[in-house]
Structures are given as C-alpha cells and as structure tokens.
Amino acid sequence: AQTVTQSQPEMSVQEAETVTLSCTYDTSESNYYLFWYKQPPSRQMILVIRQEAYKQQNATENRFSVNFQKAAKSFSLKISDSQLGDTAMYFCAFMKDRNTPLVFGKGTRLSVIA
Amino acid sequence: NAGVTQTPKFQVLKTGQSMTLQCAQDMNHEYMSWYRQDPGMGLRLIHYSVGAGITDQGEVPNGYNVSRSTTEDFPLRLLSAAPSQTSVYFCASSYGAGGLETQYFGPGTRLLVL
C-alpha cells in the first residue's frame, strides 16, 4: 500500500519570503501522480499543483513549484513570494492511476506572517 | 455549474441515530469519493465509486454505507452513529478514466455525534 509522509506538522514564513514544504511517499509503482492541495480556514480543498511521475520536468504554477525527485520518492512544494492568503493546511497526495483514490499525507499547517 | 455540493453543512446526532450525508455534482464526473478529516490524521478515504452502480471500500469503511444509483449523486449513510464518527466529511469527484485532472471537493459536512 502506498503511504505519504509530511514530516513538518507546522511551519511559518515571513510575507514575501520563500518556504518549502516536504513530502515523501512510498510506492512500488513506476507511473503515478502526485498532488499538493491547499485547505484554507474555509475548509475547501483546492488543488495547488500536480505532477505526473513519467514527466521529468518539475511542475510550476505561478508562485508554486515542486521539486520532484523520483528516485528519492520526494515531492516538495516551494512557495515563492509568500502571501498572507497562503496561510492554510497543505496536503500532499498520491494517486496510482486515474481510477484509484487519492492517498493523503497528514498535512502541514503553514502560517504566513506579516 | 454548482460543482460539488454537500448537505447539510453541520449536523449533531445522538449515538445510535442514523443519517445520510448528501453529495451531488453537476460536472458529469464518473469518479466520486468520500473522505473524513480528523485532526492530525489528514484525509482518509471511506468509500469511492468509479461510476453509477459501482462502489468500493476505502481505508475506513466500517459504519458507513454508500450507493451510486446516478452519476450525479453519491450519498453516505451512517447506520448507527458513534462518537468516533465525529469528523468533517468531504465528498470529491473527478473525470476518472476520462482524464487525470483535478479532484473537485465539496465544502464539507461537520458532524458531531454525542
């Protein structure tokens, strides 16, 4: 069974600074998908970024980028120019294929400080 | 599109009572799922469905039933509520086999079992 580990329960960053959230996973699959979700205080789950394992290029979405290290089974999220609105819980998630459920990590609570 | 809707937003039950959490989506998604979110535990999958008439168990299915009679609706039934089922419940949907895509989450239902 796949597992996802987020080793940082809480983090904080100054506004406009850069922060990196860690995620490692365990799988025997060669092709799979990885995601970062954001959950603000409103509780809605919002997709931040996704990565297909067969793509070597790291995914980027505006201020959000990932460092995908397939051999190390690592998938960290970098947030540049942090904004107050980035304050949220961030969940790393793994999916084996398009018809299997997401497996989530326990989350990292990020606080952006003015 | 309304996206994924969940009702009710908040519910208080007494131990032993039954209830149904409603989930509906208007995006013609094949794949739907139910998660529960508990502090420090991330999101854990309860049940999921890859299409109308097809359901399967997730990580924590005990005490919950689901059915998928239409593409749009995926209700979650608590047969005899227990305090351990106090949680926030999220419904999600995606295109599934049609494409990897995003899992669209509903706003959540907060359940308190006394």
Q: What is the mean pLDDT of residues A95-104?
A: 81
Query: Per residue in B6-20, pLDDT tens?
Result: 999 999 999 999 999
Give residue B113's pLDDT: 97
Instruction: Read off the pLDDT of each residue in A77-94 and give the average, rounded to a whole number.
Output: 96
Cα angle vertex B40, ends B34, B43, to 5°? 15
Is pLDDT larger for residue A26 or for residue B1?
Answer: A26
Percent of chain A with pLDDT over 90: 76
Of A7-16, A96-105, B96-105, the range with the lowest mean pLDDT is: B96-105
The pLDDT of B49-57, averaged and rounded, is: 92
Whether chain A has a CB inside 8 Å of the CB on B52: the answer is no
| Mean pLDDT score across all residues of chain A | 92
Q: What is the mean pLDDT of residues A15-21?
A: 98
Would you state the pLDDT for residue B101? 57
- How far B99 CA lies from chain A's nearest CA (Å)? 7
Number of alpha carbons in the 13 Å side-chain half-sphere of residue B74: 33
Q: Is the pLDDT of residue B97 over 70?
A: no
The pLDDT of residue A107 is above 60: yes
Listed in sequence order, the residues at least 6 apart from B38 whose beta carbon sits closer than 8 Å to its beta carbon are B44, B87, B88
Q: How far is B50 from chain A (nearest CA, A)?
A: 7
The two tokens of residue B32 are 């739907």
User: pLDDT tens, A73-83?
Assistant: 999 999 999 99
Which among B31, B43, B108 is the nearest to A104, CB-wise?
Answer: B43
Q: Which of A99, A104, A107 sits opposite B31 (nearest CB)?
A: A99
**Chain A closest CA to B105's CA: distance in Å?**
6
List residues bridging with B31 in a β-sheet.
B94
Is residue B38 within a helix (H) or strand (E), and if so which, with residue range? strand B31-38
The pLDDT of B76-103, averaged and rounded, is: 82
- Residue B99, pLDDT score: 39
Taking all residues of chain B, what is their mean pLDDT, rounded to a whole number? 90
CA distance B27 to B25: 6
Note whether A55 contacts B: Cβ–Cβ < 8 A. Answer: no
Cα distances (angstroms) measured from residue A7 to each of A20, A27, A106: 12, 17, 9
Q: Which residues contact B33 (CB under 8 A, 6 or more apart)?
A: A101, A102, B45, B46, B47, B48, B49, B58, B74, B91, B92, B93, B103
For A99, the closest of B43, B58, B97 (CB atoms) is B97
Instruction: Give the model's confidence band at A11: pLDDT under 50 very low, under 70 low, under 90 confident, else very high.
Output: very high
Q: Is residue A64 classed exposed, middle or buried when 0-12, 13-18 and 19+ CB atoms within 10 A define those classes? A: middle
Is B42's Cβ below 8 Å from some Cβ in A?
A: yes
Instruction: Inspect the interface and report whether the beta carbons of B42 and A107 lie closer than 8 Å.
Output: yes
CA-based nearest residue in chain B for residue A102? B45
Kindly give, in sequence order, each residue whose CB lies less than 8 Å from that of residue B54, ignoring residues fewer than 6 positions away.
B68
Q: Could you tell me if B104 and B29 are in contact, meaning their C-beta atoms sit under 8 angstroms apart?
A: yes
Are A98 and B99 an interchain contact pair (Cβ–Cβ within 8 Å)? yes
